Amino acid sequence: MSAPRQETLLSRCEIPIIDLAHIGTDVCPMKSVVRRIGQQLFAALNDKGLAVLVNHGIAEGKLKAVYADLDNFCALPEGCQAQYLRNPSNNHGYVRPGMEQFDNTKKELRHSFNITTLSAATMPAEEEVPQFVNHAIPLARDLTNLSRVLLQALAYALGLPPATLLACHAGMLQGDGRNPSAMRLLYYPPVPPEDEGPPRDVAYTRCGAHSDYGTFTLLAQDSEGGLEVKLNGSDKWETVGHLPGAILVQTGDLLAAWTTNLLPALMHRVVVPAGTYARARGRHCVAYFCHPDDGVTLPALPPRAAPVAAPPPPYVPHVHLTLHHRLLNAAHHLQKRFRETYA
Ligand SMILES: O=C(O)CCC(=O)C(=O)O
Ligand SMILES: [Fe+2]
């Protein structure tokens, strides 16, 4: 008898799907389409904390190519990988399993390659991972352009002139040190079978519970599963599931702080899937963390014309993200979170 199919948020149609057809990664999309996307995105982030983007124009092949490149990078000798280790001053580079921990009670099995600048000199060389640069740079540009569309859409939905948020995020992946946005390639290796695992008191996970630190995150994942979220207002972990070709968008800490929780930050984690077969398979994902430029002050939000369906959950700010200081201290918030999570 086959195993029962797992119910997920996607299989139950509980995550709003936003169709970006007619936009692609165009730099100059149509106003009416952007306005409609803004309304849908605002409603989804307000109600759930995440949405699914389809017809976004980023071909699946581009994702598969970087997944394979990261596999090849992870197979290099440690000494060779060491040239590309994460630089704490710009967050660019390779993060070995255990170097970044969200949950200190478990061993987090995850390889990441953070890309914060598009300079080829900072990426694996052609003779080490052929095509890494040729695949990663166009994908990073596509995800930056997609983020720019969403920033315009959000501005409309928040009642701001459409270019307002774009102007606050002008430095995304420009590599000039004024904006901490990053594209992160992730590979979660197979997890040893339970009976061959580490001593009983050490548990494995893939990524401990956290919310992301910036404005929003775009997430493309393969079909292996394991991503779980707590929807807005809920304390229950739920499995997201997989929609082929789709990209998730989820709210980060800064958008939550700026909107005083009208758009709350989404708590999420990646667990090791149950069963020997699923544990023995690796998982791949690309995350794009969209952040405002360091030092910008996000504009005050106009009062909302109509109340949203449900009042936002009470906003409990990080001490350094209080109402008075949150806008000036985005960079400070990020540095604090990096200190907490990186060994
Ligand atoms: O792998 C995933 O699906 C999520 C990764 C993640 O949450 C992160 O790197 O911040
Ligand atoms: Fe995350």
Ligand nearest to the CA of 67: 1
Q: Is the CB of 243 under 6 A from ligand 1?
A: no
Residue 10 lies in a domain: no
- Residue 107's domain is classified under what CATH number? 2.60.120.330
Query: In this predicted model, what pLDDT tens digit does every residue of 175-208 receive, in sequence order?
Result: 888 999 999 999 999 987 766 655 566 688 999 9
Residue 186 lies in a domain: yes
The Å distance, Cα 30 to ligand 1 centre, comes to 31
Residue 36 lies in a domain: yes
Q: Which atom of ligand 1 is nearest to the CA of 283?
A: 1
Q: Is the CB of 268 under 6 A from ligand 1?
A: yes
In this prediction, residue 319 carries a pLDDT of 44
The Å distance, Cα 193 to ligand 1 centre, comes to 23
Q: Is the CB of 287 under 6 A from ligand 1?
A: yes
Residue 77 lies in a domain: yes
pTM as predicted: 0.91
Nearest Cα to 220, choosing from 161, 165, 287?
A: 287
Residue 132 lies in a domain: yes
Average pLDDT over residues 60-80: 97
C-alpha torsion sign, points 188, 73, 105, 103: negative
Instruction: Reply yes or no on whether the pLDDT at 327 is more than 50.
Output: no
Phi and psi based region of residue 138 (left: phi greater than 0; alpha: psi -120 to 50; beta: remaining): alpha
Q: Are 126 and 133 a contacting pair, CB within 8 Å?
A: yes
Structural domains in the chain (count): 1
Residue 2 lies in a domain: no
Q: Whose CA is nearest to atom 3 of ligand 1?
A: 227
Residue 49 lies in a domain: yes
CA–CA distances in Å: residue 34 to residues 99, 149, 152, 163, 336: 39, 7, 7, 12, 34
Query: In this predicted model, what pLDDT tens digit does every residue of 85-132 receive, in sequence order?
Result: 999 999 999 999 989 889 888 888 999 999 999 999 999 999 999 999
Q: Can you point out the beta strands (E) in the chain?
A: 17-19, 50-54, 93-95, 106-108, 111-115, 182-188, 203-205, 207-210, 216-221, 227-230, 238-239, 247-251, 267-270, 283-290
Q: How confident is the model at residue 323 (pLDDT cuts 50, 70, 90)?
A: very low
Q: How confident is the model at residue 171 (pLDDT cuts 50, 70, 90)?
A: very high
Ligand nearest to the CA of 271: 1
Ligand nearest to the CA of 187: 1
Residue 4 lies in a domain: no
Residue 100, domain extent: 17-298+311-341
